[in-house]
Every structure is written in structure tokens, then in C-alpha cells.
Amino acid sequence: MTTGQKEERNWLADEFGNSERRLAYYMVLPALVIILVVAFYPVAYSVYLSFFEATINKVGPFVGLQNYIRMFASSEFLEGLTNTVVFTVASVSLEFVIGLTTALATHQVFRGRGLVRAAVLVPWAFPTVISAVMWRLMLQDQVGIINYMANALGVIQGPILSNHTLLMIAAVLVDVWKTTPFMALLLLAGLQTIPEDLYEAARIDGANAVQRFARITLPLLKPAILVAVLFRTLDSWRVYDLFWAMSNRELESLSTFVYKAVRVSQLNFPVGNAAAVFVFLSALLIALFFIKVLGMQTSTED
């Protein structure tokens, strides 16, 4: 028996030889079974189907990577991928900067701080579809106040909703308006875990506000930044309702491409299933990247 086998056997003996640990495993087991059935099995089956010429009622012949080749050859998929990347990078970057500024401002002690914090969260309380329709009405070329003012000031020429670039910019700004409070809330929670004694000691040592932010706030806030940026990146990566409700189905994303491919009227299940697997795997890689980069930096500094 090798050393590794001995260590593994000792670990199993320690884990299952203890009655309390064995009971803990028994109690966790039902939850693990449910997760495997509800989450893992559908994902694994989707990956399996992506290598076949599957239809709505049967699994056809094995085609290997042909579905993925057809997917990347689709101009609609490439448009959706480009829009999703641009939307995710732009919206999450703006939300982080504005959210961090908002969190730092509302973390200060001032009269009416509770009321300000509650007011900041109002946009986040609106469902995404309602927010999208509300802003779409304000962007309309005939009755929309934003479109009227932008044209009157000479910022743009023509209707916003008819210009693909302006429509994408509007979608980013609407998403920033709605979900920045969520980012600010998570960062504010992280700020409240930082001991005030550290700031007092830094002030005594002569550190100014910028130095306190760079040496104390930012390093200790990295776990909260990881959670906030990761959540918002994954949420933006699967954008669907905002695009279609606001643009009247003119903006393409990865999620809208999947929906259009797998709906019954389209009957393009093999490519749509491959696109769904691509969205899942790409989101998983994004999550692993954030955890690896920011998580490693946080553990190193600790």
C-alpha cells in the first residue's frame, strides 16, 4: 500500500469513524441527492444532447462538435455574444464605480442616513421588465422625454430606439440605474465589517483619506468586491428580459439566441442546446476566474 493510499484510508477512518461526523454526512446526504437530481442531471443531459442531432421528441445521430461549429458560424450568435460581452463589461464596470462611491457616501455618519439608504434601494425594487418598459416609454421618439431633450440639446439626431448603438448604450444605463443599488448594498455590508479602530490608528499616524482608502478600505473590502462583482457579472452575462422588453426584441444576447433557437416555431434544437451549454460553461469559467484572481489576492494579503 502506497503512502497516498494510507493517508486516504486514515482520512476515511477519521471521518466515518467519528459518530458525530458520520451523522453530519447522513444529514447532508439528502440535500446532495436533491442537488444532483435537480441541478446536475439536467446540465449533464444538456451537455450530452449537444453532441447529437436532437429534436423535440427524439435523439438523433451523434454529430460530435458539429452543433458548436454551426453555432459559431451563426451571425445571430456572434451578434448576441458581442452584445453580451459589451453589455457585461460596461454595465458591471459602471455599477462597481458608482456602487462603491455610493457605499462610501452612505457609510458616513450624517443626519437622515437611514432615509438616504432606503431611497438608494428604490430602483432595485422594480422588476426588470417594469423598469425596461418604463424607460422605453421615456425613450420613445414621439412621447419620450429623454429622446425629446437629447434631440433638443443636439446630443443625438433621430430616435434613440431606432439606433442600435444608442439602444445598447441606453440598455447599459438602464441596467446601471436599476442594479447599482444591489452593488452598493453588498459593498456597504463589507464596509461595515471593517473595524473603525484601524482608521483611528491610521489618522494618528498621519495617513490622509486617500492613503486610508488604498491601505485599509480597499484591501479589506476585497471579499465583498469579489461577491458583488461576481454576482453582477453572472447576472449581466445571462441578460434576457431587459434586452427584449426595452428594445422590442431588437437587441440580441446569448440568452435571447438560445430562446429563439429552441422554441417550437424555430425547431433549431441542436444549435440552441449547444448555445445553452456554452452559456453555462462560459458563466462557470467566469466564476472560476473571479474566484481564482480576487480570491487568491485576498488570501495572499490576509
For residue 226, being part of any structural domain is answered with yes
Q: Is residue 275 a part of any domain in this protein?
A: yes
Please name every residue paired with 59 in a beta bridge, in sequence order, or none if there are none.
Answer: 54
Q: Please say whether the beta carbons of 270 and 40 come within 8 A.
A: no
Kindly state whether residue 61 falls inside one of the protein's structural domains. Answer: no
> CATH number, domain at 156?
1.10.3720.10
147 and 176, same structural domain?
yes
Tens-place pLDDT, residues 33-44: 888 888 888 888
* Structure confidence at residue 46 (pLDDT): 86
Residue 95 has pLDDT above 80, yes or no: yes
Average pLDDT, the chain: 84
- Report the interhelical angle of 269-301 vs 254-262 (nearest 10°): 150
Please state which of the ranges 79-83, 174-178, 244-248, 296-300 shows the lowest mean pLDDT. 296-300
Q: Where are the beta strands (DSSP E) in the chain?
A: 52-54, 59-62
* Residues composing the chain: 302
Confidence of residue 296 (pLDDT cuts 50, 70, 90): low
pTM for the structure as a whole: 0.83
- Which has the higher per-residue pLDDT, 232 or 17? 232
Could you tell me the pLDDT band of residue 5, with boundaries at 50, 70 and 90?
Answer: low
pLDDT tops 70 at residue 297: no
* 10 domain residue, yes or no: yes
Res. 117: pLDDT tops 90:
no
At 154-170, the pLDDT tens digits run 888 878 888 888 899 99
Domain range for residue 28?
3-49
Element (DSSP H or E) covering residue 42: helix 41-49
- For residue 216, pLDDT over 80 is answered with yes
**Residue type, position 107, single letter:** H
Q: Are residues 204 and 250 in the same domain?
A: yes
**114 shares its domain with 202:** yes
Same domain, 40 and 132: no
Residues 12 and 154 placed together within one structural domain of the fold: no
In terms of domains, do 140 and 74 share one? yes
If asked whether residues 164 and 294 sit together in one domain, one would say: yes
- Residue 61 φ then ψ, to 5°: -70, 160
Report if residue 60 sits inside a domain.
no
Best mean pLDDT range from 83-92, 188-197, 216-225, 251-260: 83-92
| 25 and 99 in a common domain | no
**Per-residue model confidence (pLDDT) at position 168:** 92
Rounded Cα gap, residues 251 and 253, in angstroms: 7
Measure CA 1 to chain center.
47
Share of the chain above pLDDT 70, in %: 89
Q: How many domains does the chain have?
A: 2
Residue 265 has pLDDT above 90, yes or no: no
| Structural domain contains residue 62 | no
**Cα three-residue angle 164-249-45, rounded to 5 degrees:** 120
Q: Is the pLDDT score of 179 beyond 70?
A: yes
pLDDT band for 32, please (50, 70, 90 cuts).
confident
Does 44 share its domain with 120?
no
Amino acid of residue 219: P
Asked if pLDDT for residue 172 goes beyond 90, the answer is yes
- Whether 76 and 45 share a structural domain: no
Would you place residue 25 in the very low, low, confident or very high pLDDT band (cuts 50, 70, 90)? confident
Pick left, alpha or beta for residue 2 (phi over 0 → left; psi -120 to 50 → alpha; otherwise beta): beta
- Integer Cα distance of 157 and 197 in angstroms: 54
Amino acid at 213: F
- Contact assessment for residue 178 and residue 124, using Cβ atoms and an 8 Å cutoff: yes
Do the beta carbons of residue 238 and residue 91 sit within 8 Å? Answer: no
- Structural contact between residues 131 and 178, judged by C-beta atoms closer than 8 angstroms: yes
- How far apart, in whole angstroms, are the C-alpha atoms of residue 195 and residue 220? 10
Q: Are strands 59-62 and 52-54 parallel, antiparallel or unpaired?
A: antiparallel
Task: Report if residue 57 sits inside a domain.
Answer: no
What is residue 144's DSSP assignment? -
Same domain? For 88 and 22 the reply is no
Identify the band that residue 246 occupies on the pLDDT scale cut at 50, 70 and 90.
confident
- Considering the domain boundaries, does residue 162 fall inside one? yes
> Within this chain, do residues 211 and 265 fall inside the same structural domain, yes or no?
yes
